[in-house]
């Protein structure tokens, strides 16, 4: 069958408040043209993030009721730990309230002044947690990722040659090698199993531990099954186990590929490192069998992990992005190719060449999508990355708008509506105008800056 259907039925619904274009124009003015300042009830389709916004299944809601809130040794922890270990065979599994808490604990132990921590691409919270210890976070992404229009299947791959040179030259400064799967900051693009294993072997040859940021592990495993020669007949959980069997530890945000609204974990094989991690955990998160979460959260994660590797779900998940992308490409809309696991990226720089980078074509496009159809995406360009630590401003590498797909939340007709909105904006792209910053905070300006349209 060619029609994509959601492999689930809907039992509980949330109304969407419909707004008119006129209403949205007023909302934009009041929000200072910053989509982060718009109330959720004023959004029709919210594609701001895929983090913590998944719809839980009936079994997950049922699992909440089984939650055991015992302070120590809860049965919820037992179910959580077993569910993680079924997919990720690490010796120690340490729950945390979010992914960044796992990062903070790990880099308090492995980071420090003058240390170097290479990855394909560090996610922004990972980078911030590394840099907070005085260490340097290095991105060694393969060159294939620089070309938005190419269909290279594994744009999340690490550049192993650069990694090898770095390990040879600076090995004494490197405590561990990391990889993010899929590469969130780079468009949800996967790394191949061959690349992950090559990076692990290189790290181990230099006596370094290999840590995976596994936030979208199931999407990455699905891409391996679909795109990597020789992997097509394997079960997704088998591929997942092979990925994690070659690592010494992982950090995880359960708000991504665990279908949970909150949660995360740090997993490690090394006994001594795990003991030190648990000591820090008690200071900052909680006792090692709950780590900042309620027992019921641990149960929701445990159940979510058994659902996220379902191949019918993963096929639908990625197919929606491919479908949206195919329709956009057919209409000549510039996009990042191929489809990523959790988002579709529009290339605002290519769509709006008449708007200079520092008049924020990505922000202009994101604002236009909201005005046109009430669709909220996120600028990833010079608003997010342009302000420099010395106060100057510089154009970002690319001017993108990310449309992140919440898991199991929207349907095929919502996807059609999003496509229609994008096509309508694309049609009138030449009339779109840039923006200027009226006011901005000292750091992370994209969350709170106020803009005004250029006349």
Ligand X SMILES: *Cc1c(COP(=O)(O)O)cnc(C)c1O
Binding site for ligand X (CB under 6 A): 51, 98-100, 123, 125-126, 180, 184, 213, 215, 253, 255-256, 264
Measured between alpha carbons, how far is 268 from 92 in angstroms, rounded to an integer? 5
412: which residues sit within 8 A by CB, 6+ positions away? 3, 4, 5, 6, 320
Nearer to ligand X, 57 or 180 (CB): 180
CB of 190 to ligand X, least distance (A): 12
8 A C-beta contact, residue 251 and residue 214: yes
CB of 215 to ligand X, least distance (A): 4
CB of 314 to ligand X, least distance (A): 17
CB of 213 to ligand X, least distance (A): 5
**What is the number of helices (H) and of strands (E) in the chain?**
16, 14
442: which residues sit within 8 A by CB, 6+ positions away? none
CB of 342 to ligand X, least distance (A): 8
Say whether 168 sits in a helix, a strand or coil: helix
Nearer to ligand X, 77 or 123 (CB): 123
Measured between alpha carbons, how far is 101 from 10 in angstroms, rounded to an integer? 33
Nearer to ligand X, 255 or 387 (CB): 255
Does 182 sit behind a cis peptide bond, omega within 30 degrees of 0 on the bond before it? yes
CB of 429 to ligand X, least distance (A): 30
* CB-based burial label for 322 (10 Å; 0-12, 13-18, 19+): middle
Please tell me the total number of residues recorded for the chain in this structure: 455
Nearer to ligand X, 74 or 98 (CB): 98
Nearer to ligand X, 318 or 368 (CB): 318
Measured between alpha carbons, how far is 111 from 158 in angstroms, rounded to an integer? 21
Nearer to ligand X, 100 or 198 (CB): 100
CB of 258 to ligand X, least distance (A): 10
- Of all residues in this chain, which one has the CB nearest to ligand X in the complex? 99
Element holding 170 (H helix, E strand):
helix 160-170
Alpha carbon of 266 to those of 1, 93, 245: distances in Å?
A: 41, 6, 15
| DSSP secondary structure letter of residue 57 | P
Nearer to ligand X, 185 or 209 (CB): 185
Nearer to ligand X, 404 or 432 (CB): 404
| DSSP secondary structure letter of residue 8 | S
CB of 383 to ligand X, least distance (A): 20
- Check residue 134 and give left, alpha or beta (phi > 0: left; psi -120 to 50: alpha): left
Q: Give the pairing type, strands 136-139 and 435-439.
A: unpaired
Q: Give the pairing type, strands 249-253 and 209-213.
A: parallel
Q: Phi, psi at residue 288, to the nearest 5°? A: -60, -15
Say whether 182 sits in a helix, a strand or coil: coil
Q: Which of 367, 432, 356 is nearest to 393 (CA)?
A: 356
CB of 130 to ligand X, least distance (A): 12
CB of 256 to ligand X, least distance (A): 6
Nearer to ligand X, 24 or 100 (CB): 100
Nearer to ligand X, 102 or 193 (CB): 102
Q: Which of 199, 240, 249, 255 is nearest to 52 (CA)?
A: 255
């Amino acid at each position: 069958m060619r029609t994509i259907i959601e492999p689930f039925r809907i039992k509980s619904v949330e109304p969407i408040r419909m707004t008119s274009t006129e209403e949205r124009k007023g909302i934009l003015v009041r929000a200072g043209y910053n989509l982060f300042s718009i109330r959720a009830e004023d959004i029709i389709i919210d594609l701001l993030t895929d983090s913590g916004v998944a719809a839980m299944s009936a079994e997950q809601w049922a699992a909440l009721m089984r939650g055991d809130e015992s302070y120590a040794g809860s049965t919820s922890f037992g179910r959580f730990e077993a569910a993680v270990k079924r997919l990720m065979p690490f010796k120690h599994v340490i729950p945390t309230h979010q992914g960044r808490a796992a990062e903070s604990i790990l880099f308090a132990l492995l980071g420090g002044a003058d240390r170097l921590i290479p990855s394909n691409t560090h996610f922004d919270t990972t980078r911030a947690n590394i840099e907070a210890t005085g260490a340097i976070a290095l991105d060694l992404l393969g060159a294939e990722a620089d070309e938005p229009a190419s269909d290279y299947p594994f744009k999340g791959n690490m550049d192993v040659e650069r990694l090898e040179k770095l390990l040879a030259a600076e090995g004494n400064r490197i405590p561990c090698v990391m990889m993010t799967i899929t590469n969130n900051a780079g468009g949800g693009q996967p790394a191949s199993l061959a690349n992950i294993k090559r990076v692990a072997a290189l790290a181990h040859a230099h006596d370094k531990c290999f840590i995976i940021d596994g936030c979208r592990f199931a999407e990455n495993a699905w891409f391996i099954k679909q795109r990597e020669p020789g992997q097509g007949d394997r079960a997704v959980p088998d591929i997942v186990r092979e990925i994690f069997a070659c690592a010494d530890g992982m950090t995880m945000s359960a708000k991504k590929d665990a279908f949970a609204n909150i949660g995360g974990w740090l997993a490690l094989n090394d006994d001594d490192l795990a003991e030190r991690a648990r000591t820090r955990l008690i200071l900052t998160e909680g006792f090692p069998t709950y780590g900042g979460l309620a027992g019921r959260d641990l149960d929701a994660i445990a159940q979510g992990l058994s659902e996220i590797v379902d191949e019918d779900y993963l096929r639908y998940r990625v197919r929606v992005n491919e479908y949206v992308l195919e329709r956009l490409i057919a209409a000549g809309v510039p996009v990042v190719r191929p489809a990523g696991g959790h988002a579709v990226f529009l290339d605002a720089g290519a769509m709006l060449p008449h708007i200079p980078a520092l008049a924020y074509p990505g922000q202009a496009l994101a604002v236009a999508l909201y005005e046109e159809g009430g669709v909220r995406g996120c600028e990833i360009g010079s608003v997010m990355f342009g302000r420099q630590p010395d106060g100057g401003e510089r154009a970002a590498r690319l001017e993108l708008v990310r449309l992140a797909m919440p898991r199991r939340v929207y349907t095929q007709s919502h996807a059609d509506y999003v496509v229609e909105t994008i096509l309508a904006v694309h049609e009138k792209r030449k009339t779109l105008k840039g923006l200027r910053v009226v006011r901005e905070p000292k750091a992370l300006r994209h969350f709170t800056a106020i803009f005004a349209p250029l006349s």
